[in-house]
């Protein structure tokens, strides 16, 4: 009798289980496959990383892989599904901590959402939120997790333990595995499949699900125990006709793995033997490990062979995201210094609110692989510039050594090359969407517009290319680019007009007297309400051959002045004489607060305006400066 340790679940876990258990009716329950295989992949990746510095911990006779087998029970109504990985494994403490608590941020979000709907509403949310390990309960009444961690300094003699969920949902048990150490290292998850979920014991169905959800997201082989019929030659033809049932293979090995060549074995043997009498051939059913993901992982494939659904599934699993990305781009190429990359970049559906408040990022958005093997997702600020740190990237470089360290990466030009390569392709992706799918582009710009502007301000190298991607409202329309503005400029127009007011609404900016006059003459004016906007325009100085002009500053010029220059000159002189007394009087009255009083042609309906000197700060800049000094 083994001592069992009983633990109560945190209340959230029990709640989660209730929701999940009530959701079987929905077809969302198949997501448990994705979740468990993703955990297995994570565990294998962790082991591989540790084994780089400590070779002894991996048993060379134990290949890194994932195996799936279904064991139907006698009546055929239910059975067990067993998913095993030879990954890093878990100690009893790990089992308690990782599987007995809801550590995942996504799951509490899920609970909050599920609460706001009725309890049965959870089903529709499950596909969107990765429930992780808890998705097991979508299809299983009871779950056993047997696991044994790899040897470590603190745990030189690890033992295999079992986490066992109880039937009443309220607690779980942790105890030494009565079978002893059967795993070597790794984790075996046994799902006692509910009778109404027996479809998940069907190997064809399992194969389909693995192909749909997971075959492309892991570089480790996934094997499914499959029954195949084979013809065997009974050498002793006189023995009785007894169907031979093959032993259940314990783990896939070279010989036991099913591949296409297997079919020809019978013929070869029969030819070699040149039998004098007809050999007796019997058809038997044997268990073989079928390799499910013989195709390369998604990022290594030709984009032509990948469906949109696969890109989205891959993104969700790989980056642990619940919502589909806004866009992606799959490409390969060679950097100037001879490194070959295969890469997918994804634009997430929203910008993390911390993007603007955090100065450094603990960004895990860039996953570096070498020859399909995961190396690190901890390149942090070195992999992407701040303005693009929201990007999710998987990149496979085939020219790096597998044991490359972070230090090596930093000391070579690799990270710099990677960075400019990824940014180049992000710009390419955005440019393509802007051209081909303006609605989608607007959706992206609403989320990332300011990040793009930040990039244009911060990066002198990419300034112009990013400025092309930025959009602003004008007095005439929304989401206008500098290029569109330029193309639509009026004949003879010498300036790019803008009006800036931090925090002001576009509507209010459009109503300003400064805009009014320019608008009345039929010109387009950029209406800037973000602090970054004016800084960027100042940095740019000009677009193509025309300079930026703040309509609230001196120096405003229109291209159509010459048209009736003569008539206007006469009229100006007349007005100048007429209003000279008023101007003199105003100068006298306001001499302490303004530099000059002049007659102006800017205004259409407003009688007067106070403007900034050409070389002074605009009122808007002054507000920014004051805010900074405060
Ligand atoms: P997540 O994968 O997002 O962390 P899960 O609920 O899927 O959330 O898993 C919780 C944790 O349990 C994992 O972070 C991991 O530490 C542990 N875990 C789950 N499955 C395995 C496994 N097959 N091998 C090792 N650890 C695992
Ligand atoms: Mg997981």
Give me the pLDDT at residue 20, please: 65
Tens-place pLDDT, residues 546-564: 999 999 988 888 866 555 5
Q: Taking ligand 2, which is a single-atom ion, which protein residues have CB atoms under 5 Å away?
A: 39, 132
Q: Is 406 annotated as a binding residue?
A: yes
Ligand in nearest proximity to the CA of 134: 1
Q: Is 133 annotated as a binding residue?
A: yes
- Phi-psi category of 245—alpha, beta or left, where left has phi over 0 and alpha has psi -120 to 50? beta
Q: Is 110 annotated as a binding residue?
A: no
Query: Does the pLDDT at position 271 exceed 50?
Result: no
Q: Which helix (H) or strand (E) holds 234?
A: strand 222-234
Instruction: List all residues 6 or more positions away from 309 whose beta carbon is below 8 Å from its beta carbon.
Output: none
Mutate to test the pocket of ligand 1, among 94, 98, 319 (most ligand atoms within 8 A of CB): 98
- Phi-psi category of 186—alpha, beta or left, where left has phi over 0 and alpha has psi -120 to 50? left
Tens-place pLDDT, residues 447-464: 999 999 999 999 999 999
Q: What's the pTM?
A: 0.73
Q: Is 131 annotated as a binding residue?
A: yes
CA of 197 to the centre of ligand 2 (A): 21
Q: Is 505 annotated as a binding residue?
A: no
Ligand in nearest proximity to the CA of 131: 1
Tens-place pLDDT, residues 272-328: 455 556 778 888 889 999 999 988 899 999 999 999 999 998 998 889 888 899 999
Q: Which of 326-330, 397-401, 405-409 has the highest mean pLDDT?
A: 326-330
3-state secondary structure labels for all residues of 183-205 = CCCEEEEEEEECHHHHHHHCHHH
Give me the pLDDT at residue 496, please: 96
What is the mean pLDDT of the segment spanning 231-244?
62
> Ligand 1, atom 7: nearest CA belongs to which residue?
132
What is the mean pLDDT of the segment spanning 227-248?
63
Ligand in nearest proximity to the CA of 87: 1
Structure tokens at 219: 């570089």
What ipTM goes with this model? 0.99
d(CA 193, CA 59): 31
CA of 41 to the centre of ligand 2 (A): 9
Classify the C-alpha dihedral 620-621-622-624 as positive or negative: positive
Q: Is 547 annotated as a binding residue?
A: no
CA of 629 to the centre of ligand 1 (A): 49
d(CA 376, CA 15): 35
What is the mean pLDDT of the segment spanning 68-75?
89
**Residue 491 in contact with residue 452, Cβ under 8 Å?**
no
Computed over every residue of the chain, the mean pLDDT equals: 83
Q: 279 vs 488, which has greater pLDDT?
A: 488
Confidence of residue 260 (pLDDT cuts 50, 70, 90): very low
d(CA 190, CA 197): 15
d(CA 365, CA 370): 16
Q: Is 540 annotated as a binding residue?
A: no
Structure tokens at 181: 């150490």
The string of DSSP letters for 245-310 reads PPPPPSS--TTTEE-GGGGGHHHHHHHHH--SSPPEEEEEEEEEEEES--SPPGGGS-GGG--HHH
Atom nearest to 38 CA in ligand 1: 2
Let me know if 391 is exposed, middle or buried by CB neighbors in 10 A (0-12, 13-18, 19+): buried
The string of DSSP letters for 125-140 reads HHTTS--GGGGGGGTE
d(CA 552, CA 518): 11
CA of 133 to the centre of ligand 2 (A): 6
CA of 368 to the centre of ligand 2 (A): 19
Atom nearest to 131 CA in ligand 1: 6
CA of 628 to the centre of ligand 1 (A): 46
Ligand 1 binding residues, C-beta < 6 A:
35, 39-40, 42-43, 85, 87-88, 90, 98-99, 104, 132-133, 187, 320
Q: Tell me how far the alpha carbon of residue 470 is from its chain's centroid.
A: 22
Structure tokens at 34: 């994705």
CA of 41 to the centre of ligand 1 (A): 10
3-state secondary structure labels for all residues of 381-407 = HHCCCHHHCCCEEEEEECCCCCCCCHH
Q: Which residue has the tokens 């029954």?
A: 227
Instruction: List all residues 6 or more positions away from 34 whose beta carbon is below 8 Å from its beta carbon.
Output: 130, 213, 214, 313, 316, 317
Let me know if 151 is exposed, middle or buried by CB neighbors in 10 A (0-12, 13-18, 19+): middle
Structure tokens at 402: 């597998």
Structure tokens at 189: 């998850």
- Phi-psi category of 241—alpha, beta or left, where left has phi over 0 and alpha has psi -120 to 50? beta
> Ligand 1, atom 8: nearest CA belongs to which residue?
132
Residue in 30, 21, 26 with CA at minimum distance from that of residue 169: 21
d(CA 457, CA 448): 14
Query: Does the pLDDT at position 145 exceed 90?
Result: yes
> Ligand 1, atom 19: nearest CA belongs to which residue?
39
Q: In sequence order, what are the beta bridge partners of 226?
A: 288
Which segments of 5-148 are extended strands (E)? 5-8, 66-72, 79-85, 140-148
């Amino acid at each position: 009798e083994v001592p069992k340790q009983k633990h109560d679940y945190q209340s959230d876990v029990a709640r989660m289980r209730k929701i999940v258990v009530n959701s079987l009716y929905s077809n969302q329950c198949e997501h448990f496959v994705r979740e468990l295989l993703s955990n297995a992949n994570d565990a294998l990746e962790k082991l591989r990383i540790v084994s780089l510095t400590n070779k002894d911990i991996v048993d060379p006779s134990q290949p890194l892989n994932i195996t799936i087998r279904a064991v139907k029970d006698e009546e055929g109504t239910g059975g067990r599904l067993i998913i095993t990985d030879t990954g890093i494994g878990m100690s009893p403490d790990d089992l308690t901590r990782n599987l007995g608590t809801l550590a995942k941020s996504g799951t509490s979000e899920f609970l909050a959402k599920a609460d706001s709907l009725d309890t049965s509403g959870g089903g529709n949310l499950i596909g969107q939120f990765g429930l992780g390990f808890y998705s097991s309960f979508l299809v299983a009444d009871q779950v056993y997790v047997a696991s044994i961690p790899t040897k470590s300094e603190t745990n030189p003699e690890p033992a295999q333990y079992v986490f066992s969920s109880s039937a009443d949902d309220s607690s779980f048990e942790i105890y030494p595995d009565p079978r002893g150490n059967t795993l070597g290292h790794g984790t075996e998850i046994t799902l006692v499949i509910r009778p109404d979920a027996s479809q998940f014991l069907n190997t064809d169905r399992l194969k389909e699900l693995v192909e749909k959800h997971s075959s492309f997201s892991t570089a480790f082989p996934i094997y499914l125990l499959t029954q195949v019929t084979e013809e065997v030659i009974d050498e002793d033809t006189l023995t009785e006709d007894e169907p031979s049932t093959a032993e259940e293979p314990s783990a896939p090995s070279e010989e036991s793995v099913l591949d296409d060549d297997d079919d020809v074995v019978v013929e070869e043997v029969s030819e070699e033997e040149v039998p004098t009498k007809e050999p007796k051939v019997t058809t038997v059913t044997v268990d073989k490990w079928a390799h499910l993901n013989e195709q390369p992982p998604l990022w290594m494939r030709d984009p032509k062979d990948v469906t949109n659904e696969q890109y989205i599934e891959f993104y969700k699993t790989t980056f642990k995201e619940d919502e589909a990305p806004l866009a992606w781009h799959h490409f390969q190429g060679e950097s100037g210094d001879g490194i070959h990359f295969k890469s997918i970049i994804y634009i997430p559906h929203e910008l993390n609110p911390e993007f603007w408040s955090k100065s450094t990022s603990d960004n895990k958005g860039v996953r570096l692989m070498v020859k399909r093997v995961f190396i690190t997702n901890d390149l942090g600020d070195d992999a992407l510039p701040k303005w693009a740190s929201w990007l999710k990237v998987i990149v496979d470089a085939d020219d790096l050594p597998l044991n490359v360290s972070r230090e090596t990466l930093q000391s070579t030009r690799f990270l710099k090359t990677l960075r400019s390569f990824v940014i180049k392709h992000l710009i390419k992706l955005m440019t393509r969407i802007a051209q081909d799918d303006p609605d989608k582009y607007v959706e992206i710009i609403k989320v990332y517009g300011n990040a793009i502007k930040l990039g244009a301000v911060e990066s002198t190298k990419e300034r112009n290319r990013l400025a092309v991607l930025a959009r602003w409202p004008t007095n005439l329309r929304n989401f206008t680019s500098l290029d569109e503005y330029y193309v639509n400029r009026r004949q003879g127009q010498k300036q790019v007009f803008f009006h800036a007011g931090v925090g002001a609404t576009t509507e209010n900016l459009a109503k300003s007297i400064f805009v009014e006059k320019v608008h009345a003459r039929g010109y387009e004016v950029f209406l800037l309400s973000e602090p970054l906007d004016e800084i960027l325009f100042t940095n740019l100085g000009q677009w193509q051959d025309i300079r930026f002009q703040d309509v609230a500053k001196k120096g405003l010029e229109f291209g159509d002045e010459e048209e009736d220059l003569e008539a206007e000159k006469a009229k100006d002189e007349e007005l100048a004489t007429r209003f000279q007394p008023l101007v003199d009087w105003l100068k006298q009255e306001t001499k302490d607060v303004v530099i000059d009083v002049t007659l102006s042609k800017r205004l259409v309906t407003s009688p007067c305006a106070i403007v900034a000197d050409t070389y002074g700060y605009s009122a808007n800049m002054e507000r920014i400066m004051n805010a900074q000094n405060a």
